[in-house]
Amino acid sequence: MTDHDQTPAVPDGNGDASTSAAVSADAPGKYDAEVERLFGVGGPLGPAVGGFRPRKSQTEMAKAIAQAISEQQTLIAEAGTGTGKTFAYLVPALMWGGKTIVSTGTKNLQDQLFQRDIPTVRAALKAPVSVALLKGRGNYLCHYHLERTLANGRMTSREDVGYLREISRFLKMTQTGDKAELARVPENAPVWNLVTSTRENCLGQECQYNQDCFVLKARREAQQADVVVVNHHLFFADVALKDTGVAELLPSANTIIFDEAHQLPDTATLFFGETVSTSQVLELCRDVLAEGLAHARDGANWAGVVSVVEKAARDLRLTFPQDVVRLSLPQIAPSSDFFPALEKLKEELDGMLEVLEGQAQRAETIEHCRTRGLELAQKYKDWTYDPKVKVPPGQEAVYWVEAFASSLQLHKTPLSIAQIFSNQREGTPRSWIFTSATLAVKNDFKHFSHQLGLYDEPAMSWPSPFNYAEQGILYVPQGLPDPNSLGYTDAVLDCALPVIEAAGGRTFLLCTTLRAVKRAAERLRDEFERRGLKFPLFVQGDRGRTELLDQFRKAGNGVLIGSQSFWEGVDVRGEALSLVIIDKLPFAPPDDPVLAARIEVMEKKGMNGFVHHTLPEAIINLKQGAGRLIRDEGDRGVLMLCDPRVITKPYGRRIWQSLPPFKRTREQAEVIAFFQPPEAP
pLDDT digits (tens, 9 = 90+) for 54-74: 999 999 999 999 999 999 999
Question: Given this model, what pLDDT does residue 14 score?
Answer: 38
- Which ranges of 323-437 does DSSP label H, i.e. alpha helix? 338-359, 364-382, 418-425
Query: 3-class SS at 408?
Result: strand
HEC string for 110-135: HHHHHHHHHHHHHHHHCCCCCEEECC
Say what percent of the chain tops pLDDT 70: 93
Is residue 24 very low, low, confident or very high in pLDDT (cuts 50, 70, 90)?
A: very low
Question: Given this model, what pLDDT does residue 9 score?
Answer: 33
Residues in the chain: 681
Residue 142: name the closest of 238, 214, 237, 239 by CA: 214
- Regarding beta strands 507-510 and 637-641, do their DSSP bridges make them parallel or antiparallel, or are they unpaired? unpaired
Question: Given this model, what pLDDT does residue 8 score?
Answer: 32
Q: Please state, in angstroms and rounded to a whole number, the distance separating the CA atoms of residues 246 and 251.
A: 9
Query: 3-class SS at 561?
Result: strand
pLDDT digits (tens, 9 = 90+) for 316-348: 999 998 777 889 888 898 899 999 999 999 999
- Flag whether pLDDT at 423 surpasses 90: no
- Please say whether the beta carbons of 325 and 368 come within 8 A: no
**Segment 651-676 mean pLDDT:** 94
Pick the more confident residue, 216 or 186: 216
Question: Given this model, what pLDDT does residue 74 score?
Answer: 97
Q: Please state, in angstroms and rounded to a whole number, the distance separating the CA atoms of residues 238 and 246.
A: 6
What average pLDDT does the chain have?
89
- Flag whether pLDDT at 520 surpasses 60: yes
Q: Please state, in angstroms and rounded to a whole number, the distance separating the CA atoms of residues 476 and 482.
A: 14
Q: DSSP E strands: which ranges in 390-529?
A: 397-403, 408-414, 431-436, 459-462, 472-475, 507-510
Question: Given this model, what pLDDT does residue 240 score?
Answer: 61
- Please say whether the beta carbons of 255 and 69 come within 8 A: yes
Is residue 247 very low, low, confident or very high in pLDDT (cuts 50, 70, 90)?
A: low
**Segment 431-437 mean pLDDT:** 96
Q: Please state, in angstroms and rounded to a whole number, the distance separating the CA atoms of residues 396 and 594.
A: 11
- Regarding beta strands 274-277 and 408-414, do their DSSP bridges make them parallel or antiparallel, or are they unpaired? antiparallel
Specify whether the backbone of 504 is left (phi greater than 0), alpha (psi in -120 to 50) or beta.
left
Read off φ and ψ for residue 254, nearest 5 degrees. -95, -30
Least confident of 393-397, 433-437, 490-494, 510-514: 393-397
Distances (CA, A) of 92 to 66, 75, 131, 273: 5, 13, 15, 34
- Flag whether pLDDT at 20 surpasses 70: no
Question: Given this model, what pLDDT does residue 666 score?
Answer: 96
- Please say whether the beta carbons of 342 and 276 come within 8 A: no
Read off φ and ψ for residue 399, nearest 5 degrees. -95, 130
- Flag whether pLDDT at 309 surpasses 90: yes
Query: 3-class SS at 38?
Result: helix
Question: Given this model, what pLDDT does residue 244 score?
Answer: 52
Pick the more confident residue, 227 or 634: 227
- Regarding beta strands 537-539 and 663-665, do their DSSP bridges make them parallel or antiparallel, or are they unpaired? unpaired
Q: Please state, in angstroms and rounded to a whole number, the distance separating the CA atoms of residues 319 and 344.
A: 12
Specify whether the backbone of 618 is left (phi greater than 0), alpha (psi in -120 to 50) or beta.
alpha
Pick the more confident residue, 217 or 155: 217
Is residue 10 very low, low, confident or very high in pLDDT (cuts 50, 70, 90)?
A: very low
**Segment 75-93 mean pLDDT:** 95
Is residue 263 very low, low, confident or very high in pLDDT (cuts 50, 70, 90)?
A: very high
DSSP annotation string for 49-108: STT----HHHHHHHHHHHHHHHTT-EEEEEE-TTS-HHHHHHHHHHHH-SSEEEEESSHH
Question: Given this model, what pLDDT does residue 680 score?
Answer: 47
Question: Given this model, what pLDDT does residue 681 score?
Answer: 54
Contacts of residue 628, Cβ cutoff 8 Å, sequence gap at least 6: 508, 510, 566, 567, 570, 572, 577, 580
- Which ranges of 175-274 does DSSP label H, i.e. alpha helix? 192-195, 214-224, 232-241, 246-249, 264-272
- Flag whether pLDDT at 22 surpasses 60: no
- Please say whether the beta carbons of 113 and 80 come within 8 A: no
- Flag whether pLDDT at 242 surpasses 70: no
- Please say whether the beta carbons of 94 and 65 come within 8 A: no
Residue 108: name the closest of 117, 97, 121, 120 by CA: 117
Read off φ and ψ for residue 263, nearest 5 degrees. -80, -10
- Flag whether pLDDT at 23 surpasses 80: no
**Segment 505-531 mean pLDDT:** 95
What element of type H or E holds 531?
Answer: helix 514-531
User: Going from the N-terminus, what domains does the chain have, and what CATH number goes with each?
Assistant: 12-136+217-265+418-462 (3.40.50.300), 141-196 (no CATH), 274-413 (1.10.275), 468-674 (3.40.50.300)
- Please say whether the beta carbons of 279 and 407 come within 8 A: yes
Predicted TM-score of the model (pTM): 0.85
- Flag whether pLDDT at 651 surpasses 80: yes
Read off φ and ψ for residue 78, nearest 5 degrees. -95, 130
Q: Strand 472-475: give its sheet, edge to edge.
A: 537-539, 559-562, 507-510, 579-582, 637-641, 472-475, 663-665
pLDDT digits (tens, 9 = 90+) for 554-604: 999 999 999 988 888 788 888 899 999 999 999 988 778 888 888 888 888
The DSSP symbol for 641 reads E
Contacts 24+ apart (CB under 8 A), 206-211: 206/364, 206/368, 207/143, 207/144, 208/144, 209/142, 209/143, 209/144
Question: Given this model, what pLDDT does residue 11 score?
Answer: 31
Terminal Cα distance for the chain, rounded? 39
Question: Given this model, what pLDDT does residue 626 score?
Answer: 92
Q: Please state, in angstroms and rounded to a whole number, the distance separating the CA atoms of residues 619 and 425.
A: 28
- Please say whether the beta carbons of 401 and 325 come within 8 A: yes
Distances (CA, A) of 120 to 49, 91, 150, 193, 294: 8, 10, 41, 35, 51
